[in-house]
Amino acid sequence: MNADIKADAILDCVGLYCPMPIIQTTEHIAGLEAGQVLEVVADDKGIVTDMPAWCKGTGHEYLGMQQQGGEYHVFVRKKHG
């Protein structure tokens, strides 16, 4: 993953467990403009597989993940149209 990705918005899901990070991502990304990047921060390791699957199902672009300590920073670009 490109470490230079700059998020337009950050969603803090630390302390939340499946399915809440995905539910909150769905709600939060709706408020972004097409092409903007959302960074989701979570400590539930389920996000590692859940977010790419959610992106595939919704058409949003999964840009990758960085792990920092016990937190996962996942980057998603909102789809166009």
- The one catalytic residue in 18, 32, 41, 63 is 18
Does the annotation count 18 as an active-site position?
yes
Burial readout 33-69 (b: 16 or more C-beta within 10 A, e: otherwise): eeeebbbbbbebeebeebbeebbeeeebebbebeeee
Which residues are designated catalytic?
A: 18
